[in-house]
Amino acid sequence: MLQVALWEPEIPPNTGNIARLCAATGCPLHLVGRLGFRIDEKSVRRAGLDYWDSVELHQHATLAELEEKLKQQNARLFCLSARAKNTYTKIPYKPGDCLLFGAETRGLPPEVLDRYALQSYTIPMASEKVRSLNLATATGIVLYEGLRQLHGW
């Protein structure tokens, strides 16, 4: 399977939708950095995150912690950003790869995109009036493309 990572997610319903997506696909979810909400049981239940207990969840204080975990798994990291040039359909997916998405209001920090410039991808959009897609929508698009390529879904 693939893995999904969210950099400092801010909006609980987006993270909840992504957790549901991960539960449905059997993909681990990594939360990296400072969260814009709490994920204790009471807060999760109040936010309607019904599938939280069905997700293989990992929390990392820093990107370096996530990178170390991926290194131990011999897994690669791919960044998704509206500022990237390569289209997400060009990702050379392999089982275990991790897809990193940025915070809803800021995306991924420039230093992360610089470091992973050759592993950064975007979802093309027809209108320049729209800055980016919703985080949960973007995650679903990219994750299912990877699963389609790997498993014929």
3-state percent helix, strand, coil for the chain, nearest multiple of 5: 40, 20, 40
Phi, psi of 53 (to 5 degrees): -75, -5
State the average pLDDT over residues 16-22. Answer: 89
CATH code for position 104: 3.40.1280.10
What b-and-e string marks burial along 124-153, b requiring 16 or more CB atoms within 10 Å of the CB?
A: eeeeeeeebbebbebbbebbebbbeeeeee
Closest CA to 24 of 129, 121, 139: 139
pLDDT tens string 40-83: 655 555 544 667 788 899 999 999 999 999 999 999 999 999 99
pLDDT tens string 108-121: 999 999 999 999 99
pTM: 0.91
Split into its structural domains, the chain has a count of 1
* Residue range(s) defining the domain that contains residue 24: 3-151
Average pLDDT, the chain: 89
Closest CA to 84 of 122, 118, 111, 115: 122
| Calpha distance 93→62 (Å, rounded) | 24
pLDDT at residue 53, rounded to an integer: 80
